[in-house]
Amino acid sequence: MTDNKPPPPFNFVAPPELHAEYANLVRIAHSPVEFVLEFARLLPGEVQPLIVSKVVMTPLAVKMLHRAITENIARFEGNFGEIVMPGKNTLADQLFRPSPEPEPPKDEPEA
């Protein structure tokens, strides 16, 4: 007979020297065996994001994180309302979307 009880919750322990960091950007890279998430902060007036934390995870762990974040966003929006995505020309658009190809100059008729 198998016992289908859920495992007990983890007791997370944070070392005293651990500091919370604010991040408003994340750069994600991956190989066949791992994902690398580099969390960064870019504040107004700054020109270069500062990486404040790097997390390396297995693909399975990232997929589980994705599920947990999706569930938590749904709970958040159920309690506080929909998180509205900003319109076009946001900082995220500028940072994460490739620049459009410049249009070739049009031949103008001579005057």
Any domain includes 53: yes
The answer to whether position 13 is within a domain reads no
* Inside any domain, residue 72: yes
Alpha-carbon distance 31 to 35, whole Å? 6
Provide the pLDDT for residue 90.
Answer: 64
Give Rg (Cα) of the chain.
22
Residue 89 belongs to some domain of the structure: no
Four-CA torsion 101, 27, 42, 87, nearest 10 degrees: 60
Q: Is residue 74 part of a domain?
A: yes
Q: What Cα–Cα distance (Å) separates residue 69 from each residue in 46, 62, 83? A: 29, 10, 13
Q: How many domains does the chain have?
A: 1
Mean pLDDT of successive 10-residue stretches along the chain, which has 111 residues: 77 94 96 97 93 98 97 98 80 61 64 55
For residue 42, which of 90, 8, 84 has the smallest C-alpha distance? Answer: 90
Does residue 46 lie in a domain region?
yes
pLDDT of residue 109: 60
pLDDT value at position 85?
83
Q: Which residue has the tokens 């870019």?
A: 42
Beta partners for residue 37, in sequence order: 28, 55
Residue 100 covered by a domain: no
Residue 36 is part of which domain span? Answer: 25-83
The answer as to whether 75 is a domain residue is yes
pLDDT score at 9: 85
